[in-house]
Each structure stands twice: as structure tokens, then as C-alpha cells.
């Protein structure tokens, strides 16, 4: 099962752009169209939720298994190490 991936972004955010580019790259994340982005500048509820997690910078990436919030991992910033570990679409057979 592919994990649910949400990337919380800010406008003109280089690390946000790099994170999305990593996820879209077929040689890395290969998740183009399979993750959700939320613009924190346009969504005050999402901003409050991200701040409640203790983050004050973007991007914030949340990875979890659908239907199981207890099995959630999150971090902020462009983190290729975390992206490689948690954000990889399954290869089609």
C-alpha cells in the first residue's frame, strides 16, 4: 500500500519546490500526482495544525498509512534522506 503523503508549502519556498521535484522524479520518489500539497498561506487551519506539531518553517511533510494516524511520520525542510525512506511509489509490475 502506498503511504499517504502531504506536503505543506509556502509561496516562493525553495525547499518546498525541491521537495516536490524530488517526489515527482521517476528515479527517486516517482510519486507525481500521488501526493497532496497544501499552501499554508491559503489555508489557516492547515497552518494552525502544522504549528501545533511544532513547526515554524516549510515544507512540512507528513507521511502515514491511510486510516492509521498513529502510524504517521513528519518532518520539515528538504530532507532527501527521509523522502527516500518514506516516499517511494511502488513499481508497477
Residue 93 lies in a domain: no
Residue 23 lies in a domain: yes
The pTM assigned to this predicted structure is 0.88
The pLDDT tens digits for 29-64 are: 889 889 999 999 999 999 999 999 999 999 999 998
Distance CA 91, CA 58 (A): 29
Residue 57 lies in a domain: yes
Residue 92 lies in a domain: no
The pLDDT tens digits for 10-34 are: 999 999 999 999 999 999 888 988 9
pLDDT at 79 (0 to 100): 97
State whether the Cα torsion 54-79-6-37 is positive or negative: positive
Tally of structural domains, the chain: 1
CB 66 within 8 A of CB 4: yes
Residue 67 lies in a domain: yes
Amino acid at each position: 500500500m502506498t503511504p499517504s503523503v502531504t506536503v505543506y508549502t509556502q509561496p516562493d519556498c525553495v525547499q518546498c519546490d525541491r521537495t516536490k521535484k524530488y517526489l515527482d522524479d521517476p528515479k527517486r520518489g516517482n510519486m507525481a500526482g500521488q501526493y497532496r500539497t497544501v499552501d499554508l498561506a491559503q489555508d489557516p487551519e492547515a497552518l494552525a495544525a502544522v504549528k501545533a506539531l511544532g513547526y515554524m518553517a516549510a515544507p512540512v511533510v507528513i507521511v502515514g498509512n491511510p486510516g492509521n494516524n498513529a502510524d504517521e511520520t513528519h518532518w520539515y525542510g528538504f530532507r532527501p534522506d527521509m523522502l527516500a525512506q518514506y516516499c517511494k511509489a511502488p513499481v508497477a509490475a
